[in-house]
Amino acid sequence: MSEIAFIGVGTMGAPMAALLVKAGHRVRCYSRTATTREAVRDFGGRPADSVLDAVSGADLTITMLPDSPDVRSVALGKEGILAGLAGSAGAAWVDMSTIDPGVARELHQAAAERGIAMLDAPVSGGEIAAKEGTLSVMVGGDASVLTSVRPALDVLSRVVVHVGPAGSGQVAKAANQLIVAGNLALLGEALTFLRRHGADVGRVFEALGQGLAGSTVMERRGASMLAADYTPGFRVELHDKDLRIVQRAAQDNGLSLPVTAVVAQLMAALKARGDGKLDHTALAKLVAELNGADEKSAQEGE
């Protein structure tokens, strides 16, 4: 049993913190929203009034926040994570958010200057995997730090892989997000293509899923795409943010990623037209509409 501070208890963070409580850890949770903080009592978490309150005496601090500025804001400054952990022998900070690799390296450096062990460890799997404890975790930083925090990460994940030095976890997550977005866009195009040809899409997806075209994206998201159910598990606005991270990192390294650029534009268009709160599978909705199709009518015709 250990003392864990969990900062960011939203769609992903709350079920992750709940699993840590279930595993026997004492978990203090902080969120900027009072109602979200209080809700952690439902799964046995203890609400903290501030970041400093959360990290005080913590063996491990975990952050799960939306974007780079959010992580910076809770990490730096007089009342941030690094100030709160300074002088705490053996304390570690694991940032499981998805942020810019350059920012991750900057925060590693800031933590090292204060004698604080840090890992960047973004996750893949979405809300379902967060609830199941089957996330895939990509870890950047010192491998010895990973060894020390591994018992807690194992509670949250199916696989934990050390992928390299500081910032490498975020680089791996960026690659993950471009692959997922591309897969979703092509599944959306396949849906429109099959429906236009009058195919039984459910049966075709069943066949495709057992072949080379099959994927975890199809397995986990295929049914909701067929049903045009875009209840958010991972919102368009967050995937849009992630693809912008990919594009910035590519530009910084002089890379040309043409397919990523097209998919990023599609995701940005979804957000711009007001669909940012929908699940990222709504790429299928956009593709259908670009082809003059009405998804509901198309489903009824299958």
Give backbone dihedrals phi and psi of 120, rounded to 5 degrees, phi first.
Answer: -100, 120
Q: How many helices (H) and strands (E) does the chain have?
A: 15, 9
Is residue 13 a contact partner of residue 126, using CB atoms and an 8 Å limit? Answer: no
Q: Which two tokens stand for residue 259?
A: 């397919």
Is residue 285 a contact partner of residue 273, using CB atoms and an 8 Å limit? Answer: no
Exposure class string for 37-53: b at 16+ Cβ within 10 A, else e:
bebbeebebebbeebbb
Q: What are the residue ranges of helices labelled H in 64-167?
A: 68-75, 81-85, 101-113, 126-132, 143-156
Which residues, in sequence order, are bridge partners of residue 64?
none
Question: 131 catalytic, yes or no?
Answer: no
Pairing mode of beta strands 123-124, 46-47: unpaired
Identity of the amino acid at 175: A
What span, in angstroms and rounded, lies between the C-alpha atoms of 104 and 122? 11
Catalytic residue among 22, 78, 131, 173: 173
What span, in angstroms and rounded, lies between the C-alpha atoms of 208 and 217? 12
Catalytic residues: 173
